[in-house]
Amino acid sequence: MYSSEEKKTYMEAAFAEAEKARRQDEVPIGAVVVGPDGQIIGRGYNRRELDEDGTAHAEILAIKEACQKLDSWRLIDCNLFVTLEPCAMCAGAIINSRIKEVYFAAMDPKAGAAGSVVDLFSVEKFNHHPKVIRGLYKEQGAQLLKDFFREIRRKQKLAKKAQENCQKD
Amino acid sequence: MYSSEEKKTYMEAAFAEAEKARRQDEVPIGAVVVGPDGQIIGRGYNRRELDEDGTAHAEILAIKEACQKLDSWRLIDCNLFVTLEPCAMCAGAIINSRIKEVYFAAMDPKAGAAGSVVDLFSVEKFNHHPKVIRGLYKEQGAQLLKDFFREIRRKQKLAKKAQENCQKD
């Protein structure tokens, strides 16, 4: 179990990843994997549009990097911090790679697979059950997404206006 | 909807992928993605141990290749054939990438996320619901895994025997 200070440090690192996505007009979601010795061994941010790859979610990329770093598909005693509740794919990847603890910020009422829509971490029959810590910096996680989508709508509105003005000319 | 002949061709291509895994001592699971024009645009086989990557499942690799081929994360009108029921991670990836139809052979009673343990494809709240065709060549799919694990046990037994003989000398 981490101290409040450690949790803050790791979640801030996940938010720093999300910020990289935001700066490239990707839905801002970031994740980090913390290794057994407390070092961050995997980082990832949503790159779905950038890579044109439906599997390029923050958690998947962070897990892949951590596996590479440890040269093992089993991320024993590793923990994951992510700014949004994992989707089914990412929750499955967390189970498959034996992540010990999952800390996430905002809930995802549309696709969340850690309690919102389904709860894959509590399915008894699966062979691994990560401990889940919900709601760490949840307001910050939700606000980040809210601001992003507001900005998208603002840009769309401006583009529409510009198009209308063009047609008038 | 495919003809029986087409389904046979695509599932055989998935089994050919599984065979690549088996030859490299990986649990033999294979998958292909069929594009809108009927061409196979993504192939993958389980490479978890080879790549030391918990996300390197057959379906994920086939989906990634198909996304690259179409230069799109949306695999609209694409279908997936796989020799084993997808796990939660792969079922999530199938949903995320908007695969239209999923054909699979053997059921996976331990980790299957298309009916065996959970059924992610029928979760109403998710924003995409692939059509699922179960049990195509299911005996072949199950036999492949059965033979593989029997062979693993045989090798382990031989290794144990050799070790015991060594200690006797």
Six-digit token string for A154? 């603002």
B90 annotated to bind ligand? yes
This complex has an ipTM of: 0.92
- Closest C-alpha to A43, from A56, A30, A27: A30
Segment A6-14 mean pLDDT: 96
Q: Is A9 on the interface with B (CB under 8 A)?
A: no
What is the DSSP pairing of strand A40-45 with strand A30-34? antiparallel
Q: Does B169 have pLDDT greater than 80?
A: no
Six-digit token string for A58? 């923050």
Q: Are B105 and B37 in contact (CB under 8 A)?
A: no
pLDDT at residue B40 in the model: 98
Taking a contact as any Cβ pair under 8 Å apart, which residues of chain A between 111 and 130 contact chain B? Answer: 111, 113, 117-118, 120, 123, 125-127
Q: How far apart are CA A103 and CA A80, in angstroms?
A: 6
User: In one letter, which amino acid is A49?
Assistant: E
Nearest 10 degrees: Cα torsion A30, A36, A37, A40:
-10
Question: Considering only CB atoms, which chain B residues are within 8 Å of A49?
Answer: 73
Of B56, B74, B91, the CB nearest to A88: B91
Segment B38-49 mean pLDDT: 98
Q: How confident is the model at residue B124 (pLDDT cuts 50, 70, 90)?
A: very high
Six-digit token string for B73? 């994360």
- If you write DSSP's letter for every residue of A81-123 in order, what string do you get? EEEE---HHHHHHHHHTT-SEEEEEE--TTT-TBTTS-BGGG-
Task: Give the CA distances from residue B51 to residues A64, B16, B152, in Å, rounded to whole numbers and listed in that order.
Answer: 10, 19, 20
Six-digit token string for A79? 């923990």
Query: Taking all residues of chain B, what is their mean pLDDT, rounded to a whole number?
Result: 95
User: In one letter, which amino acid is A77?
Assistant: D
Q: Are A30 and A45 in contact (CB under 8 A)?
A: yes
Q: Does B141 have pLDDT greater than 90?
A: no
Tell me what percent of the residues of chain B surpass a pLDDT of 70. 99
Q: How confident is the model at residue B60 (pLDDT cuts 50, 70, 90)?
A: very high
Please report the domains of chain B, with CATH numbers, ordered by start residue: 2-165 (3.40.140.10)
Substitution target from B73, B87, B129 for chain A, most A beta carbons within 10 A: B73
Of A53, A91, A96, the CB nearest to B64: A53
Segment B119-144 mean pLDDT: 94
What long-range pairs does B35-39 form, CB within 8 A, spacing at least 24?
B35/B66, B35/B69, B35/B70, B35/B77, B35/B78, B36/B76, B36/B77, B36/B78, B38/B6
Q: Does B168 have pLDDT greater than 80?
A: no
B12 is catalytic: no
Task: Give the CA distances from residue A45 to residues B2, B23, B57, in Å, rounded to whole numbers and listed in that order.
Answer: 38, 35, 21
pLDDT tens digits, one per residue of A66-101: 999 999 999 999 999 999 999 999 999 999 999 999
What residues are paired with B32 via a beta bridge?
B43, B81
Segment A98-127 mean pLDDT: 97
- If you write DSSP's letter for every residue of B28-97 in order, what string do you get? --EEEEE-TTS-EEEEEE--HHHHT-TT--HHHHHHHHHHHHHT-S--TT-EEEEEE---HHHHHHHHHT
Segment B56-70 mean pLDDT: 98
Q: Are A142 and A116 in contact (CB under 8 A)?
A: no
